[in-house]
Structure 1
Amino acid sequence: MDDAQAQQTNPLFGIIPKEFFTPLASPNRLVYWDCLCRLFQAMSAQLSFGIEREILVDELQFYFEQNQAAEFEEDDINGMDSRKKANEMLRLLEKYGWLEVETDKSYVQRVNFYDYAVKVMKTLLEISDGRKVEYQGYIYTIYSLVRTNTDHPAVVLQQIRDNTDMLITGLKNLNSNIKHYIDELTKHKTVAEIMNALFNDYITNIVDKAYHRLLTSDNVSKFRPEIIERLEAHGHSSRYIAKTSEELAAIREIPVGQAEELVYQTLHEIVEAFRNMDDILAEINRKNTQYQRAAVNRAKFLLAGTEDVRGQMKEILLYIGEQMEERQLDLNGIYEIEYLDNLVRLFGSSFIDEKSFYSPIEGKKEFHPQELTEVMPDVELRQEKLRKMTEKMQRILSPKRIERFVEEQLGDREKIYASELPMETMDDFIRLIYVRLYGSRKKMRYRIEKAEGANKISGEFDFPDFAIIKR
């Protein structure tokens, strides 16, 4: 397929040159990216993206004179002085379709980014800076727009549709980010790494920034009924449909009949998007619970001792994992299962006891009645079993038990810090984890706020401190 056919089948390649991404896919991608960032920053400071070529040459020359400047792979370019490198970089970026050079009436060359290059640069910078599409504020904007009485209903309808798209995109990103944290959890090999990922990373970047607001101020369910009700009312209003269709037809320069179909279609898509939003919200809640449970269970797994069966199984699994990593094994291949058979020898054993389902055949025996003796229960043994059962029940860290513990620690105070809680045993440390996790729930009688400063060390445990505040 030649270039002309490619442009007809896909308009994208009629806009972006075929060598556009060559700089960022070449061995010199670090040099190109640094220069593109500097040029984009210099042009963004102007009223337009056009700027004199000599100013950009000076900017790139200053970059190449720095010790931390990236080097070209080609020796012939590295042998140039800084100013020649700057001119060569501008020539290459113009060749690959990133920049266009114009000569004004004063015979001064001005350099501009192409419009498509500006969009690509903004997207790449967002990815590079780690900025994520947030959904905060979109739901309230949509709610305000549907309640607005305006003389331009077509413009408002398009804004509602655009904000709905961004809301859905933000929720999908939040869902994807939680899945990313779940996938990354298996890479943490120590309890400290897991706790750092849970408290300093996940709680800060996901729960506090997004998930908590999803359940409180930006709760979709709080605004959704009225949004759907008003949009459906617009769909049944002939006056609204007629006025919106006329305005949309004028904006897009299409027949009124076609514009009317677009209005009905847009209203239907927005309403259906809000009705189907429960699926993705349920998925977000499920993955949030899954991540926190997985983090706590993995921490418990690594904290298990080697005396009991669980600890011994932990050591076996850790050993297998180390051997897999050392030999770079891929267990997707069936042939490699034989390696594990030789690495850990497992065998099964079975025997018949009173709990077995199988009843052995003993043959026919003659019945001889015997006198039944009354056996009095051992009171001490019963009390010992009750005591052990009570202790086991007390160790179950339910939300109510954690809430009662926090209330006892708070007493008459409105706020305490986690570093003030008793921290002498491993059970105390696990209870601290549940205090932090349950604190993000809406119905608890306390809430959590991140404390500034370094991690606190209490006994043998190192953890990021946080404030516990009475609701």
Structure 2
Amino acid sequence: MKLLNEISSSFWGLFRSPNREIYIEALLKINEEYQYSNYFLSREMCIQVLGDYFSRRQVEIEREQEEAEADTLEPPATRILNWLIRTRWLRRQEDFVNLSVNIVIPDYAAVFIGAFERLIGEEGDEADIYIQNIYANLFSYRNDPRASIALLNTALVNTRRLNKTLQDMLHNMDKFFTILLDLKFYGELLRERLDGYVEEIVKKKYHILKTSDNFYLYKADIKQWLKLLREEPEYLELTIRRGGKKLELSEAVRLLDDIERGFDDIERRIANMDREHTRYVRVTVSRLYYLLNKEEDTKGLILQLLNRMSREEDPEPLIRKTAARMNLSRRELLSDKSLYRKRKPREAFREKLQPEEAPKELSREELLSLNRVSAKIHQRRDYRLHQRADGGQGCGDHRRQRPKRRRF
């Protein structure tokens, strides 16, 4: 709340101003030169930077409510700079040694300028930075003899930021579904698919999940280090003492658990992004098919009918009229197979049964043949049992003393 208390009421006038886009561009340009000049800019240098930037195009600045008539006669660069200083987005700092005036960016204004950069600029590599930071923090914590428990806290912060970044990426994919419904021609849809979705999601954001230099490259090592650190409580206590803070061993273990839980959440969010990406591809194909058919197929005509009903204040008469003339059920969805059929009684099953055949009586020759086969089977079984009882010895004697076959 300390920085918030430093903000004056005129500071918020930028968001109400009709020239806010021009002021935001000026702040971003000054901040870029501010960093390049090692956070030191004179008033003359600011005017020169803004003059060079806005001289490339025609700029129309509307008059602000608090501006005097004399202010509107100033050049655009001077006028913009004076307004930003007056509303406390920039601050004048007198240098009495060099007898010059420097322009500095207050801390609270730097927070908003950073937000403007994120809103306007590209943030494709942000997730790469977070995962590499986590990897570097845990690697240093494990191998650096001077490491303290503060590295674990930093790794946890970066894990949460990576989770937040992936969640924002997932939420931003919803806007592409809305854009699809607004496109009326298949040429626009292909342009949106190739130039919009592929450029912004697949190449800039989604690529971190699919290339070799991504989350999965670091995940295995990080999981292994977390497991080894849990098995080394002495090392955890040593790093706690190096940090100089009164921290229990259980709190250090909880940090490891939070980092691992954060990685599990990251995996779930990546799986959700895979699912949303697949769903978007299916919706794009369906929308393209719908536009190519020019609403002349069955689905297109049904959609026209539903849109007509939705425009009616009382759609009930139109619904009844439609129901009297049309059957809107598709044959693939509603057929004779999908309707309920009454189960047939058991009598119908019994009627289809074949009558049982009566057992056939055997003749004298067939009975004698069965007896011979049975005798052979019993004889061979007794012979094998006798061999097993003797342990396989005297096989020749047994073979010579083998009883003769009985003849019938």
TM-score normalised by the chain length of structure 1: 0.59
- 8 A contact 1:242–1:260 mirrored in 2: yes
> In structure 2, which of residues 303, 323, 333 is the aligned counterpart of residue 348 of structure 1?
323
Counterpart Cα distance in 2 of 1:78 and 1:131: 41
Structure 2 alignment gaps of length 5 or more: 328-334, 342-408
The one-letter code matched in structure 2 to 1:21 is: W
- Structure number with bigger Rg: 2
SS in 2 for 1:111: strand
Contact 2:163 2:265 in 1 (8 A): no
> What is the rounded CA distance, in whole Å, between the counterparts of 1:67 and 1:213 in structure 2?
37
With over 3 angstroms needed to count, the CA separation of the structure-2 counterparts of 1:137 and 1:23, relative to structure 1, is closer
Q: Could you say if the C-alpha distance between residues 103 and 230 of structure 1 is closer, same or farther in structure 2, counting changes exceeding 3 Å?
A: same
Partner of 2:107: 115
Whole-angstrom CA distance in 1 between matches of 2:98 and 2:279: 65
Label 1:21 to 1:184 Cα distance change in 2 as closer, same or farther (>3 A): same
CA contact (8 A) 2:128 2:214 kept: no
Q: Is the 8 A contact 1:60 1:86 kept in 2?
A: yes
Indicate how the Cα distance of structure 1 residues 150 and 21 shifts in structure 2: closer, same or farther if over 3 A, else same: same
**Which structure has greater helix proportion?**
2
- 1:170 aligned onto 2:178: no
Aligned partner of 1:366 in structure 2 is none
Query: Structure 1 stretch 142-151 or stretch 107-116: which is displaced more?
Result: 142-151
| Cα separation, 2, equivalents of 1:210 and 1:63 | 30
| 2:23 alignment partner in structure 1 | 32
RCO comparison, higher one (Cα < 8 Å, 6+): 2
Structure 1 residues 346 and 166: alpha-carbon distance in aligned structure 2, compared to 1, 3 A threshold: farther
Q: Is the 8 A contact 1:31 1:70 kept in 2?
A: no
User: How many Å separate the matches in 1 of 2:136 and 2:319?
Assistant: 64
CA shift at 1:162, angstroms?
3.9
Amino acid at match of 1:128: I
Q: Which residue pairs with 1:81 in the alignment?
A: 73
2: CA distance, partners of 1:78 / 1:141: 52
Q: Which amino acid aligns with 2:281?
A: Q
Change (3 A) 1:261 1:344: same
Cα distance, 1:273 vs structure 2: 0.5
Query: Are residues 203 and 58 of structure 1, via their aligned partners in 2, closer, same or farther at CA, if it must alter by over 3 Å?
Result: closer
Q: Which residue of 2 aligns with 1:425?
A: none
Name the structure 1 match of 2:128: 136
284, 289, 306: which one aligns with 2:278: 289
Q: Measured at CA, do residues 245 and 228 of structure 1 come closer, stay the same or move farther in structure 2, by a change above 3 Å?
A: same
Contact in 2 for aligned 1:140/1:218 (Cα 8 Å): no
Distance, in Å, in 2 between the alignment partners of 1:293 and 1:80 is 55
Matched residues in 1 for 2:195 and 2:184: separation? 17
Residue pair 1:99, 1:113 contacting (<8 A) in 2 also: yes
Percent identity reads: 23
Contact 2:90 2:103 in 1 (8 A): yes
Cα distance change, pair 211–44 in 1 and its aligned pair in 2 (3 A): closer
Equivalent-residue separation in structure 2 for 1:65 and 1:303 (angstroms): 46
Pick closer, same or farther for the CA change 1:80–1:347 going to 2, 3 Å: closer
Count of residues in correspondence between the two structures: 326
Aligned to 1:312: 301
Q: How does 1:210-249 map to 2 (within 5 A)?
A: 210-218=205-213, 220-221=215-216, 223-249=218-244
Corresponding position of 2:290? 301
What amino acid does structure 1 have at the position aligned with 2:34? M
Distance in 2 separating the partners of 1:11 and 1:280: 35
1:197-238 per-residue CA deviation (whole Å, 9 max, x = no partner) reads 223322333234443541342554554344233224324423
Distance in 2 of aligned mates of 1:245 and 1:120: 36
Partners of 1:358 and 1:275 in 2: CA distance: 46
CA-CA distance at 1:71 after TM superposition: 1.3
Deviation at 1:124, TM superposition (A): 0.3
Write the distance in 1 (CA, Å) between the matches of 2:82 and 2:214. Answer: 52
SS across alignment from 2:60? coil
TM-score, with structure 2 as normaliser: 0.67
Quick one: structure 1 residues 65 and 276, their matched pair in 2 at CA, closer, same or farther if it must change by over 3 Å? closer
Which residue of structure 2 lines up, in the alignment, with residue 380 of structure 1? none
